[in-house]
Amino acid sequence: MNQSHALKILQSGDNVFLTGSAGSGKTFLLNQFIEYLRTNKTKVGITASTGIAATHINGRTIHSWCGMGIAKKMTGKQIKKLLKRKDLFKRIKEAQVLIIDEISMLDATCLDLVDKICKAAKNPFSPFGGMQIVLCGDFFQLPPIGKDAEFSFQAFSWEESGIKVCYLDEQFRQDDSEFLKVLNKIRTNEAGEKELAILKTRLNKKVTHLPKVTKLYTHNMNVDVLNQTELSNIDQVPEVFQMTEQGPKELVEFLKKSYPVAQELKLKLGAVVMFIKNNYEAGYVNGTLGEVVDFDSEGFPVIKTKNKNGIVAKPASWNIEEDKAILASIKQIPLRLAWAITVHKSQGMSLDAAEIDLSKSFERGMGYVALSRVRALDSICLIGINEMALKVNELVVKKDKEFQKLSDAN
């Protein structure tokens, strides 16, 4: 299906699953649809399964939008209490369309919880309270986190919603036909020695036609080591920011484990950073990339991003609350170093070039996500690769054929 056909189906008001391979223009089309809704003054909830995915559509996480936070299950009593928050109730009650991007990383239990909350706020007899639901993503990419987590297409709410599938089959990111064939072989679980040999032609081959490349690693540990090395290469005394905390030790420790907040954050001019919290008024969300260009009169870092120059990164808080009372809190500058990022954080990005280490791939789909961020094979410097990097989920391969047939029928 091409984009114009998919857009007409989206505009019809049907519940839709918008999918397609990496680089097929899903996010571009989603932004077109959002612009259409705004032009027609349709109230829309713009969300994604992760903070960095939300940045691509100028939205927020679905967990934040519907108020469920890190919860996966809530009782009717808990939902009723949640909806006593006037701002939250108003947001859901008035929304006519709900968009969830990068749906592959939202598990079935969470999607069903979103459905229950929306029903409680709007109409208990209609899926998602009667809103038009637009789910966007590619299940060949990273799956939901958790040992027993099910894909969102296995959710009761998905089945109940009568979702129409729009499967985009054009390709806008990759213009390298040989590389595209390799990606498609990985996508269908048919990649073998031939595809591996093609990828290995880029082993330790530097990208010479571009001055800067993004480094992608499968594990946080490798990312942290490289970021600290790059910081030490800047010949300056670092500005140091210490985390502050308050509340019972066990609750504070829970906050520290739940959020990627540095106990001690060291920054220098020229450091590449990523915001780790949403602040729409200040002009950033979780995942916004930038560079430290100054420190203001109070000593806070000033960040230049792709879309905005001069964002002052002031301390932010991560709290555990109950009945509007703060039980525990940690406070820190909402930044982390970002010369290197994990494959998980890269999902949804388009990169001109990348240095990729897949030697420790531990999850099906991980190699596909990392490799498909890049436009051409000669724009990749491959540090290493293992067998897992060429694999995708068997259930997804089977389900994808069904999605293609449903899309053709539409």
Cβ neighbors of 279 (< 8 A, separation 6 or more) are 285, 316, 334
pLDDT of residue 148: 82
High-pLDDT (> 70) share of the chain, %: 96
Cβ neighbours, 10 Å, residue 306? 9
Q: How confident is the model at residue 79 (pLDDT cuts 50, 70, 90)?
A: very high
Which amino acid appears at position 304 of this protein?
A: K
The residue ranges of DSSP E strands in 169-261, in sequence order, are: 214-217, 239-242, 244-246
Distance (Å, rounded) from C-alpha 131 to C-alpha 350?
31
Tokens 């010369």 locate to 339
Output the CA torsion sign for 138, 144, 145, 149. negative
Helix (H) or strand (E) holding 355: strand 354-358
What is the pLDDT averaged over residues 214-223? 91
Q: Left if phi > 0, otherwise alpha if psi is -120 to 50, otherwise beta: which for 23?
A: left
Is 260 a residue whose pLDDT tops 90?
A: no
Please state, in angstroms and rounded to a whole number, the distance separating the CA atoms of residues 340 and 358.
14
Structure confidence at residue 250 as a pLDDT band (50, 70, 90): confident
227-243 residue pLDDT tens: 999 999 999 999 999 99
**What percentage of the chain exceeds 90 in pLDDT?**
63
Q: Is the pLDDT of residue 321 over 80?
A: no
pLDDT digits (tens, 9 = 90+) for 153-209: 999 999 999 999 999 988 777 778 899 999 999 999 999 999 999 999 999 998 887
Q: What is the mean pLDDT of the chain?
A: 90
Q: How confident is the model at residue 218 (pLDDT cuts 50, 70, 90)?
A: very high
Task: Please name which of 233, 245, 209 lies closest in space to residue 337, comparing C-alpha atoms.
Answer: 233
Q: Look up residue 170 and give its two tokens.
A: 């054009």
The predicted pLDDT at position 57 comes to 72
Give per-residue pLDDT as tens, 3-28: 999 999 999 999 999 999 877 889 88
Helix (H, G, I), strand (E, B) or coil at 127: helix
Give the Cβ contact number of residue 316 at 10 Å: 18
Helices (H), 190-248: 193-200, 220-232
Cα dist from 325 to 66, 317, 320, 322, whole Å: 20, 14, 8, 5
